Amino acid sequence: MDIIEQRLGVPPHIAGPAATFAFFAFFLIKKMGLFTNTNHFPVEGKTILITGASEGMGLAAAILLAKKGASLILVSRNVGRLEEALVKVTAAARSPSKQRFTYISADVSEPNYADSVIAQAIAWNAGAAPDIVWCIAGLSSPMLWADPTNDSIAATRRNMDVNFFGSAEMSRAILKEWLAPENKPKDTGVIGQKPEPKHIVFTASMLALFAIVGYGPYTPSKWALRGLADTLNMELRMYPDHPVKIHVVYPGTITSPGLERENKTKPQITLELEKEEPAESPETVAERAVKGLEKGQYNVTVSTLGDLMRCGILGGSERNNWVWDTVVGWVVPVIYFFVIRIMNAQVAGWARVNGHPHVKKAAA
Ligand SMILES: NC(=O)C1=CN([C@@H]2O[C@H](COP(=O)(O)OP(=O)(O)OC[C@H]3O[C@@H](n4cnc5c(N)ncnc54)[C@H](OP(=O)(O)O)[C@@H]3O)[C@@H](O)[C@H]2O)C=CC1
Ligand SMILES: CCCCCCCCCCCCCCCC(=O)[C@@H](N)CO
């Protein structure tokens, strides 16, 4: 430190902490990807299977990935809509001669659906499993949990079957393929260089980071995905020769056909609370999600509010960036001190004005 003092006239008690700070600031900026922009999610020449790919965010993601040069397998139930989606996705191809597109009709809520989808995908793909699987199929049935006119338990089971089990079964089916000893990826030929990882992407919701009234049947299915993802993220360390990366995307409100359906039953207070987060188009959400994946993020958010929420719940979950996530994670409780009070007051205020939620008001 003497030399610093001589040259710059800075006393050691300042130079020491300043140097430490400069080191961490550099580390932070470097880790934030300002100096490097390695693409951690290259898709050109890869085969990607997407569930829920016929509408909304799934279709937008499929079109975007086709533009980036991927071959695609679209999965959902309705064949008519899949046909239409296939035309749009095929038209978006970057190099039509090198990319291939198909669809598989399947209901992700059916027990054991995924093994047969993966078998069909492999048969179509000349014996090779898809390189990336992105589970986007989902639904939401907003309602007040305790309103006796709602069957919230039946709705919760349905949401779990589609949103959680639909993704959980798919992840197990593809991992059985990828992790089988005989499917060990070939060496790259470069010493010390690992083969490119496969990717499983789950699609949760900002509600898996911050729950609000009215989404009782839905939110738990998305929290469950987080729990599964964190578990798999640790389990995959047992297969160093079969690299696989797990990711979870947390969209806010998406202006999709699904949103139109769910808004028909959405409690008024829920509509009011969720206005805090502006709705985005499926294309914008898909684009921001892919950007996060390209940066190598584990928990991928698509808005500033979403990212604050992510840093607010990390617990034992993987960090996108230790320095950033930790520092923001210290700040979020201060924001929550106010936000939670305000939101709870808003809900109580709604009831003061509108009366008991189960008592239907007489038409004016
Ligand atoms: N819209 C929103 O505001 C938000 C949505 N999300 C989540 O993002 C994802 C995409 O949402 P969004 O764009 O609104 O989706 P949409 O509801 O607009 O589209 C859903 C897609 O999934 C398919 N799908 C639905 N159920 C099944 C099933 N049982 N088996 C197979 N495929 C199925 C649909 O096709 P088909 O009906 O033919 O099967 C369609 O392709 C979902 O997981 C959703 O929970 C997260 C945050 C906000
Ligand atoms: C720092 C913290 C500030 C907290 C502010 C809270 C605002 C709450 C916004 C909730 C937005 C919910 C979007 C997802 C909706 C969804 O998943 C469904 N539409 C399913 O289809």
Q: Does the structure show a pLDDT above 80 at 18?
A: no
pLDDT-based confidence at residue 364 (cuts at 50, 70, 90): low
Sheet with 71-76, side-by-side order of all strands: 101-105, 71-76, 47-51, 132-135, 198-203, 244-250, 299-301
Determine the average pLDDT of the residues in 73-81: 98
Considering 218, 245, 266, 298, which one is annotated as catalytic?
Answer: 218
Structure tokens at 336: 């929550």
CB of 74 sitting under 6 A from ligand 1: no
Q: How many whole angstroms separate alpha carbon 149 and alpha carbon 144? A: 9
Ligand 2 atom at minimal distance to the Cα of residue 139: 21
The band of 215, judged by pLDDT with boundaries at 50, 70 and 90, is very high
Report whether pLDDT(185) > 80.
yes
| Residue 217 predicted with pLDDT over 70 | yes
Q: Write out pLDDT tens, residues 104-117.
A: 999 999 999 999 99
Q: Helix or strand or coil: residue 30?
A: helix
Tell me the C-alpha distance between 28 and 239, whole Å. 30
Give 80 Cα–ligand 2 centroid separation in angstroms. Answer: 32
From the CA of 153, how far away is ligand 2's center (Å)? 22
Q: Considering only CA atoms, which of 153, 134, 143 is closest in space to residue 204?
A: 134
Q: Look at residue 28 and tell me whether its pLDDT is greater than 80.
A: no
Q: Kindly state the average pLDDT of the residues 279-307.
A: 98
The pLDDT score that the predictor gives to residue 342 is 97
Average confidence (pLDDT) over 130-155: 98
286 closest CA partner among 86, 84, 52, 83: 52
Ligand positioned closest to the Cα atom of 282: 1
Query: H or E element: which one contains 22?
Result: helix 12-31
pLDDT for 160: 98
Average pLDDT on 148-154 reads 97
Ligand lying closest to the C-alpha of residue 81 = 1
Question: Residue 175: which of 132, 230, 227, 125 has the closest Cα?
Answer: 132
Q: What is the pLDDT of residue 32?
A: 60
Report which protein residue has its CA nearest ligand 1's atom 34. Answer: 52
Q: With cut-offs at 50, 70 and 90, classify the pLDDT of residue 3.
A: low
Ligand 1 centre to CA of 53 (Å) is 8
Instruction: Kindly list the protein residues whose Cβ atom lies closer than 6 A to any atom of ligand 2.
Output: 140, 205-207, 210, 212, 218, 252-253, 258-259, 262, 273-274, 276-277, 305, 308-309, 335, 339
pTM: 0.93
CA-closest residue to ligand 1 atom 45: 138
Q: Residues 4-13: pLDDT tens digits?
A: 566 667 777 7
Q: Can you give the pLDDT at residue 17?
A: 76
Q: What is the ipTM of this complex?
A: 0.98
Ligand 1 centre and the CA of 162: distance in Å? 9
User: What is the rounded distance in angstroms from the CA atom of residue 243 to the CA atom of residue 234?
Assistant: 12
Known active-site residue 295: no
Q: Quick one: what percent of the chain has pLDDT higher than 70?
A: 94
Instruction: State the amino acid at position 196 in one-letter form.
Output: E
Distance CA 292, CA 302 (A): 8
Active site residue 239: no
DSSP 160: I
Q: What is the mean pLDDT of the chain?
A: 94
268 CA to centre of ligand 2 in angstroms: 14
Comparison of pLDDT for 303 and 14, the residue scoring more = 303
CA distance 338 to 136: 33
Probe target for ligand 1 pocket from 139, 274, 277, 303, with the most ligand atoms within 8 Å of CB: 139
Rounded to whole angstroms, how far apart are CA atoms 238 and 179? 10
Longest dimension (CA), the chain: 83
Judge contact between 93 and 72, C-beta under 8 A: no
